[in-house]
Amino acid sequence: MRVLFLIQDSNLPSSRIRVVNLLSHLEKHNVIPFLAPYPKKLSDRLRLFQKLPEFDAVYLQRKLITAPELFILRRRAHRLLFDFDDAIYQHDDSHPDPYSRTRQTRFQSIVRASDHVVVGNTILGDKLTPHDAGYSVIPSSVPVTNVPEREYSALNTRLRIGWVGTKGNFRYLETLRQPLLQLARDYPLELRVVSNAPFHCDGIDVINIEWSAEQQEKEIAQFDIGVMPLSDTSWTRGKCGYKALQYMASGVVPIVSDVGDNAAMVTHGCDGFKAANPATFYDAMASLAASPEQMRSMGICAREKVKIHYSQEVIAERLAKVIHSVVHSSQYNQLSTR
């Protein structure tokens, strides 16, 4: 089965996590993937549209294309699947007003024109209406095989609190300044930040590590605790908790804000902690700092959960089943020209 995956850019996290990292695994399930960034030039887009009938399905990842482009794509594609993993129908938290008429209109048009929609979590799925295409929840995945694991036989001289993300999300990490200062009074600690820019926090020893795809798993395996603080907004509730999965894949205990998909992903007190506010972040960090054995056992449980439910191999198999089902279904969107 030949499937064209249309992505925004292979360097963007969403494209890499949701599509690029799964391609080799999809081949094992009779899906022959063809990858193409969505062309920026109109002439290139038109040439691409001419080739769409050569594929059994087109898998559009996240891109909110214009109405004329959607009309052509829908008419030329045998089957159209649309994938999204964020609240792309609105502005993000950096915008004063989350509502975007343009985003909302394009989003609604695409999901109604698609044969099937793939969402990263149930909260995003709840945004679809009975008039839209059917949908499947396929979580984001992480590599597990050959990923460095936290070595619990060797205790760090300082407690290592870790965070991975881009500078655009520093505003969430800044909410942990007070609990980190409070924890530092009782335990020697350092905050390890893996990012594309340096992070500064007065009173806390911050170790800034430049992010790279090749080194991030190695750096995460050096953490004692991985934190994922978020505010509770319509944007963050749509997030897919990828940071937490990265921590868990390396056997690092995650402490996450009890927001959106995090609530379902982490089992509180078993493979991580859910925190409602900075005070409960402190409680969770202090609990782990006081008990290396608890940290070890929870880290083992976290990695095991990811292996079973969120590994690239497992998610690729689930996605392949969805694609096969859509392609072979007798039901199709009437906007197509079959």
DSSP state of 241: -
Q: Which residue has the tokens 């959106």?
A: 260
With a pLDDT cut of 90, the percent of the chain lying above it is 88
Please give the domain boundaries of the chain with CATH numbers for all domains.
Answer: 2-141+312-328 (3.40.50.2000), 159-309 (3.40.50.2000)
* 322 pLDDT more than 70: yes
Q: How far is CA 3 from CA 19, 26, 96, in A?
A: 12, 10, 39
Convert the pLDDT of each residue in 152-193 to its tens digit: 877 778 999 999 999 999 999 999 999 999 999 999 999 999
CB 180 within 8 A of CB 152: no
Closest by CA position to 159, among listed 137, 133, 179: 179
Average model confidence (pLDDT) for the chain? 94
Residue ranges of E strands in 25-172: 32-37, 57-61, 80-84, 116-119, 134-137, 159-164
Mean predicted confidence (pLDDT) in 9-27: 95
Instruction: Give the pLDDT mean for 289-308.
Output: 97
Q: How confident is the model at residue 338 (pLDDT cuts 50, 70, 90)?
A: very low
- pLDDT for residue 65 is more than 60: yes
Q: Can you tell me the distance from the alpha carbon of 155 to that of 151, in angstroms, rounded to the nearest whole number?
A: 8
Concatenated DSSP letters of 29-56: GT-EEEEEEPPSSHHHHHHHHHHGGGSS
Given this model, what pLDDT does residue 333 score? 64
**Torsion angle, CA of 124/236/145/305, rounded to 10 degrees?**
-80
pLDDT beyond 70 at 332: no
Q: Is the pLDDT of residue 56 over 70?
A: yes
Question: Mean pLDDT, to the nearest integer, of 242-250?
Answer: 97
- What backbone phi and psi angles, to 5 degrees, belong to 178? -65, -45
**Whole-angstrom distance, CA of residue 192 vs CA of residue 75:** 50
Per-residue confidence (pLDDT) for residue 181, from 0 to 100: 98
The share of the chain scoring above pLDDT 70, in percent, equals: 97
Q: State the DSSP code for 130.
A: T
pLDDT band at 53 (very low <50, low <70, confident <90, very high): very high
Mean pLDDT of 91-120: 94
Rounded-to-integer distance, Cα 280 and Cα 286, Å? 10
pLDDT at 265: 93
Reference 160, options 169, 168, 151; nearest CA is: 151
